Amino acid sequence: MTTTTDVPTRALKVWQGINQALVEEMERDERVVLVGEDVGRPGGPYGVTRGLRDKFGDLRVRDTPISEQVLVGLGVGGAAVGLRPVIEIMFFDFAMIAMDQIVNQAAKFRYFSGHDLPLVIRTMAGAGGPNGAQHSQNFEAWYSAVPGLKVVMPSQAADTKGLLKSAIRDDDPVLFIETLGLYTTRHDVPQVDEYLVPIGVADIKREGSDLTVVATGRLVDRSLEAAAQLAEEGISVEVVDPRTLQPLDTEAITASIRKTGRLVVAQEATAQYSFASEICALAVEECLSELKAPPVRVASPFVNVPTPVPLAESRAPGVDDVVAAIRKAMA
């Protein structure tokens, strides 16, 4: 693995980091193929796969009919016979249509056969446009509960690129969740061919001593902004980004909670039966004697995502919500 120390970097948008990772891995390994709806000539709905068909040809970059069952079925079959498919499901909501292929076929392939299944399923989650309640949901907790399936959810361009490269090289199926609302955000990305971020390792985005915030997706940047605001008042907030939801880096998370004694979990998904609930359970089971206050969850209200952009954005937790949760935990 290459670290970010003493290597050249370039500010990239998250979608550019994804594109760069796909280009590098397809150049490195001819078994890597990309399949999805409009991934070819159109370059995907947000340009993420722009230029890949021109570079690698229509045998390796394939547009498909609108059928998620076919998409994931092609991926499972292709991986089973020696390819390393990257399957794009345009919106996370549509992964439900391929639930059997993902949960009962891909995730259980090694258990039943004893053989590898190097498959990556890319999809995007959350609000980020006038997409409405059927194109904006966060179901990461559902899939994180499936044995045999790895679930990755990065928040910044460098992590996105490094984790996608690692996912493509992984010999087991990986659900790679990209956050729609982060596609155009910029971060410094190391410009080296072998920049890899290991699956299953959390990252401390900001160190602190008074309280731990475990955040995912868009809430990572918002938690960092909240931490910067509260630092001016003398409150030291540590921000932990799991990056991988399954397998979860429980050691890094519990070590941070033990250090600070307080926990806030921030996510775009609703709180009920969620990843945030799992982190709170982890804190209580492993760190109860070190907790100085009950854990606090920051999440979207338990309502469907509205179609108008202002309403959709107001539903998602903001910086002020994270600040309020931290104050509550500190009190």
Active site residues: 68, 135
**Which residues fall within 8 angstroms of residue 215, CB to CB, at 6 or more apart?**
155, 222, 223, 239, 240, 241, 265, 266, 267, 322
Q: Do 213 and 266 form a contact (C-beta atoms < 8 A)?
A: yes
If one counts every other C-beta atom within 10 angstroms of the C-beta of residue 108, the result is: 16
Q: Do 129 and 308 form a contact (C-beta atoms < 8 A)?
A: no
Q: Alpha-carbon torsion 75, 79, 80, 81, what sign?
A: positive
Q: Do 156 and 238 form a contact (C-beta atoms < 8 A)?
A: no
User: Is-cis flag, bond preceding 247, omega within 30?
Assistant: yes
> What angle (nearest 5°) sits at the alpha carbon of residue 151, between those of residues 275 and 253?
50
Helices 275-287 and 250-260: crossing angle, nearest 10°? 60
Distance CA 281, CA 274 (A): 11
Strand partners, 178: 124
CA dihedral 117, 154, 162, 49 (to 10 degrees): 80
